[in-house]
Amino acid sequence: MQYINRLSEYRDDRESAVTFGKFDGLHKGHQLLVEEVRKLGEQDRIRSIVCAFDMGPLWKRIGKTPQILMTGKERQEHLEGKVDVLAECPFTQEFSQIKAEDFIRDIIKGVFHARYVIVGTDFQFGYEKRGDLGMLRQYAKEYGYQLIVIEKERYENRIISSTYIKEVLRQGDLRLAGVLLGYAYGITGQVEHGKQLGRTLGFPTLNVEWPKDKLVPPRGVYLSDVRIDGQRYHGISNVGVKPTVSKEERVLAESFLFGYDGDAYGKSVSVELLEFCRPERRFDNLEELKACIDRDIAYGKHFFV
């Protein structure tokens, strides 16, 4: 898959099937769009393209701290092998001023040479969101593309959306979040050196920093899967700040893996949270902490049997 992080980098004159959106989380609703793009690309032997709007510049401009479901790197990993191109489009001040008609002429046709435009039922675009499905239909013949509108995916009669998934995650319902996403929520990052306290207490852990702009579910212990070196290991993960042994406010995912005894420092791993077990708490001493972690590990091993 080709990855570009600004539209000016895309220089391919071949026709395409393209979809547009923020694609935060690449949940099951988004996956319908991606699958249609992939199918049409293969069917007509044209480029299959996901154009994802990177809202970072807007958040910075208005001083907002985002709570995203997926980092740009994670989106790349999820789309690898599914489409030909992932184009990240920074939502800059200049981009936000593009008129809807110009978006169709200069981007849909001018940049991507679209044969197919695949969007959801609520897609809006252009300055002040003046572009909609009606406008896309109006200009389809003039610019030579076919508009395909995909109905929203639902779960128990509620539309699956990033907002819905964030509500579920804040409630700590990782199982439902996984159903809505189509995969387990978690993070991908590099294992860093810690204070070796877990090893001292008899349960060595892998520490991965939680991305600062990514939504953190309730702090606490989770049943988890961790992917490392192409293998998947069951385990338990503490998401939080380790208040018993640290005064830092930096959020980490600290995972103890069942059946893994390798050296993971510096490696990229993916931590997938499956089920919330208990909230993070401060213990009076290390003996209490160790006893509780022993119970967490026993519960986890019983769960995965």
In the chain, DSSP finds a helix count (H) and a strand count (E) of: 10, 14
- 84: which residues sit within 8 A by CB, 6+ positions away? 1, 2, 41, 47, 48, 49
User: Model confidence over 265-281: pLDDT tens digits?
Assistant: 899 999 999 999 999 88
If you write DSSP's letter for every residue of 36-55 in order, what string do you get? HHHHHHHHHT-EEEEEEEE-
Per the listing, tokens 């949270």 go with 273
pTM: 0.91
**pLDDT one digit per residue (tens) for the chain, 305 residues:** 999 998 989 999 999 999 999 999 999 999 999 999 999 999 999 999 999 999 888 888 888 888 999 999 999 999 999 999 999 999 999 999 999 999 999 999 999 999 999 999 999 999 999 999 999 999 999 999 999 999 999 999 999 999 999 999 999 999 999 999 999 999 999 999 766 555 555 568 899 999 989 999 999 999 999 999 989 999 999 999 865 555 667 899 999 999 898 888 899 999 999 999 999 888 777 788 888 888 999 999 999 87
Query: What's the sign of the alpha-carbon dihedral 270, 276, 282, 286?
Result: negative
How far apart CA 237 and CA 222 sit, in angstroms, is: 5
Radius of gyration of the chain measured on its C-alpha atoms: 22
Nearest to 37 by CA among 29, 47, 52, 23: 47
How far apart CA 187 and CA 118 sit, in angstroms, is: 29
How far apart CA 264 and CA 272 sit, in angstroms, is: 17
Amino acid 73 reads K
Nearest to 226 by CA among 194, 180, 200, 258: 258
